[in-house]
Amino acid sequence: MVRWNRVLPAGFVTLVVLYLYAPIAVIVIFSFTTSPRLSMPIEGFTLDWYVSALSNPLIATALRNSLVLAATSAVLSGVMGVAFSFGLVAVRRAWLRSTLLAGSLLPAIVPLLVIGIALAVLFRAVGMPQGLLNAAIGHMIVSLPFVVLTMNARLESFDFSTLEAARDLGASAWQAFRDITFPLIRPSVIGAMLLAAALSLDEFVVTWFNIGNQQSVPVLVWGLMRRGVDPSINAIATILLALLVCLVVASNRLGRRNGAS
């Protein structure tokens, strides 16, 4: 006899998981198949699409640009976000602190379209021609709230009396930072920077409005898609996916190790 009260929930969960992952799985699978079309049955497997994607100078440039944007965004929004979070915990008035925190997180919920257009208008007003630099500034705005959020969570549980203990034992302010603060917050900082890199890698809207005639991977893929589905797009998407998964997993692991200590 079929036990419907068990089969139904299990079936539902399976459907949800399929819905979430089937499109991604399709892209990954077809990036390795010989057929140029998305068709069944699969005739054979090949790495040709990766070869043709990576040998395409347009795609190589776009990939390089994307990595530059991700690195810039990770480093700069990392440094800015960490510094800002330290300033934030030093604010004594609770209402001011929570207002500043909320204010710094707001860009995370402002529609990307608004941020993208606003930046484009601003850059034009100050006479900055569209390009990678503009896109990088946009990416920092997009990632900064997430860096602040991560760092703020870490610093709220940070025992600042350990810094006083270090000073008391003879450390200068710099030595206390080097020996105590930095080793303790390092996992969170790296985690936050990886998250910033991940957000930057697949950012499209803000990039598209500000990057001008340069290409990042998402912008290039968007352009290629308008001309029809080229199977090397599957390969690019899979590379991007692999990069993102690595970054997010690493970021999460660091965050968890941090929480355990």
175 binds other proteins (CB under 8 A): yes
For other proteins, the closer of residues 116 and 187 by Cβ is 187
Stretch of 56-64, 99-107, 155-163, 192-200 contacting other proteins, by CB under 8 A: 155-163
Per CB under 8 A, the list member of 169, 229, 246, 249 interacting with other proteins is 169
156 binds other proteins (CB under 8 A): no
Region of residue 35 (phi > 0: left; psi between -120 and 50: alpha; otherwise: beta): beta
Q: In which residue are the tokens 């998964």 written?
A: 245
- Name residues whose C-beta falls within 8 Å of residue 210's C-beta, 6 or more positions apart in sequence: 116, 119, 120, 123, 130, 131, 134, 135, 137, 138
Cα 7 from Cα 259, distance rounded (Å):
38
Determine contact, residues 81/192, Cβ cutoff 8 Å: yes
Name the DSSP class of 229.
Answer: -
CB of 165 to other proteins, least distance (A): 4
Cα 93 from Cα 89, distance rounded (Å):
10
For other proteins, the closer of residues 161 and 213 by Cβ is 161
Question: Rounded to whole angstroms, what are the CA distances from 67 to 58, 71, 111, 116?
Answer: 14, 6, 24, 20
* Dihedrals phi, psi of 36, to nearest 5 degrees: -70, -15
Per CB under 8 A, the list member of 54, 167, 222, 244 interacting with other proteins is 167
94 binds other proteins (CB under 8 A): no
Per CB under 8 A, the list member of 156, 159, 245, 246 interacting with other proteins is 159
Per CB under 8 A, the list member of 34, 98, 99, 172 interacting with other proteins is 172
185 binds other proteins (CB under 8 A): no
Query: How many Cβ atoms from other residues are within 10 Å of residue 111's Cβ?
Result: 9
For other proteins, the closer of residues 43 and 168 by Cβ is 168
Burial class (CB in 10 A: 0-12, 13-18, 19+), 187: buried
168 binds other proteins (CB under 8 A): yes
Stretch of 5-13, 40-48, 74-82, 160-168 contacting other proteins, by CB under 8 A: 160-168
Per CB under 8 A, the list member of 184, 239, 244, 250 interacting with other proteins is 184
89 binds other proteins (CB under 8 A): no
How many residues line the site for other proteins (CB under 8 A)?
Answer: 18
164 binds other proteins (CB under 8 A): yes
Site string for other proteins, 104-143 (x = CB under 8 A): ----------------------------------------
